[in-house]
Amino acid sequence: MSEDEFRAAMSRLAGGVVLVTAREDDLEDVGMTATAFMSVSLDPPLVMVSLRNGSRMDDLLTDQPDWAVSVLSESQRHIAGRFAMKGRISDRLLFEDIPYARGEVTDAPLVRGALAVLECRTEQRVPAGDHTLVIGRVLTAGVPSAEGGPLMYFRGRYRTLG
């Protein structure tokens, strides 16, 4: 099987889009767009995100356990696009005009207007090929925005329901 065949097959799996965030030592906020995010366990409450080895978020979460997830709404496509960029210069600029609140426990940015926000603490890191599965215990969870549909990713494009 070729890489293209694998990519094409997986691009048919529609997924919601999240922004994974973390605060680095009181210094800088870091964000990364992800679709490889899922709920894992209810008791204890666990979620998982798959991070590409060597990505800034993977590097950061190797050293510190706290992170957060904002489930993006259909009106937050620009946020997803911005935080999917590689080799960015400074995250500070990326967060500049994005309204967010700080997580109570993790200090990580929680995007205002997101469909849901979760604060997590890493319990386990599982190496998996060129990615690492980061399993986190959910410390807080909320649904700040009752309005709006999800931002989705399907066949290489952002989509909305319907």
Ligand X SMILES: Cc1cc2nc3c(=O)[nH]c(=O)nc-3n(C[C@H](O)[C@H](O)[C@H](O)COP(=O)(O)O)c2cc1C
Q: Which residues contact ligand X (rule: CB under 6 A)?
A: 17, 32-36, 50-52, 55-56, 83-84, 86-88, 153
Residue environment code for 27-40, b if the CB has 16+ CB neighbours within 10 A, otherwise e:
eebbbbbbbebeeb
CB of 36 to ligand X, least distance (A): 3
Nearer to ligand X, 51 or 118 (CB): 51
Query: Cis bond leading into 44, ω under 30°?
Result: yes
CB of 50: closest distance to ligand X in angstroms? 5
Q: How far is CA 162 from CA 18, 73, 74, 150, 151, in A?
A: 19, 14, 11, 11, 11
Q: Count the Cβ atoms, other than its own, within 10 Å of residue 20.
A: 26
CB of 27 to ligand X, least distance (A): 16
Q: Which is nearer to ligand X, 33 or 106 (CB)?
A: 33
Residue closer to ligand X (CB basis): 139 or 152: 152
Q: Whole-number minimum distance, CB 145 to ligand X, in Å?
A: 20
Distance CA 135, CA 45 (A): 10
36 vs 135 by CB, closer to ligand X: 36
